[in-house]
Amino acid sequence: MTVNSANDIQELENFDQRSRRLLGRAFILTCAFMLLEIGGGLYSGSLALLSDAAHMLLDSLALAFNWLAIGISLRPADTTHTYGHYRVQVLASFINSLLLLLLSVWIVYESVTRLITPEPVLGLSMLLVAVTGLAVNIVVLHILKQGKQNLNHQAAWVNVWGDTLSSAATVVGGIIILGWQWYLIDPILSIVLALIIIKAAWGVFAKSWDVLMESQHGLPSLQDIYQAIKKLPQVEEVHNLHLWKLTPERPVITLHVKVAHTKDAPTILRQVQQILKNRFNLGHATIQVESEEIFHEDEEPKLFFD
């Protein structure tokens, strides 16, 4: 969804409030089970359970951080933060995905160590805790399902989704250990899961990085926008064209348009706004209309940057 009107903004804010309530419920469930899983992992000696508990800890922190971030982002704009506080959600997504990447690397390291020096694991305890964890994670995923399209919510989704995979694999590992006493399955599954989670977390990390770095990636082509506006009969030049995102749902564009005569400015302004909104789905636009009378020749105009 892209924000183009007051109704769109209200819809997004309503969605954020609903997301915040869902995150709160998910946090309570995740936190409660994390304590059980830590105890089960220490008792059984299962690296997979302890890895899963580490994921649950990160999930709890991520859910709490995202809950707080949404609350901050819903604050209205002020004289200090004129665009509002929307970027807090993106920052939360960036930090959560980065922590998940680092945790996954640590799990791979610990798993390789366990492969070199295998240790016995209590399969029954591991299995019972893992089954309970899988059930809890499925419930949490169901709670988070409605908010998946929001980047902040998506970061939480990836965390819990990775934990669900971890619990499912731990169930399989517990069955194998219980039936065949093959203890190497514990670190092997941990490595496989860590690699899967790294791939998912990298997607959220890359998206949030793009937004924080004000990348144009995923937005309409600047060249297409330039050509569409340049075709208007009264337009002589388009320059200083900038396009970025406050959040993935909130693109922003600024540009200068040079016209032949000042009297054409109101008409051109309306036409450019219509092109940006209707053709490129860009509703938040700042357009400076210039004419020969007010255009400074000593300011060398640049097409896409200052």
pLDDT for 231-242, tens place per residue? Answer: 988 888 888 899
* Closest by CA position to 75, among listed 22, 15, 83: 83
Per-residue pLDDT tens digits for 173-220: 888 888 888 888 878 888 887 888 788 788 888 988 998 888 888 888
Q: What is the mean pLDDT of residues 14-35?
A: 71
Per-residue pLDDT tens digits for 119-144: 777 777 777 777 887 888 788 777 77
Q: What is the mean pLDDT of residues 263-282?
A: 89
- Distance CA(102)–CA(16), nearest Å, equals 28
pLDDT value at position 150?
A: 60
Q: What is the mean pLDDT of residues 21-27?
A: 74
Buried b (16+ CB within 10 A) or exposed e, 244-257: bbbbbbbbbbebbb
**pTM for this one?**
0.72
pLDDT value at position 10?
A: 47
Q: What is the mean pLDDT of residues 279-303?
A: 72
Write down all domains in the chain, each with its CATH number in brackets. Answer: 6-212 (1.20.1510.10), 222-291 (3.30.70.1350)
Does residue 147 surpass a pLDDT of 60? no
pLDDT value at position 104?
A: 84
Does residue 1 surpass a pLDDT of 60? no
Does residue 11 surpass a pLDDT of 70? no
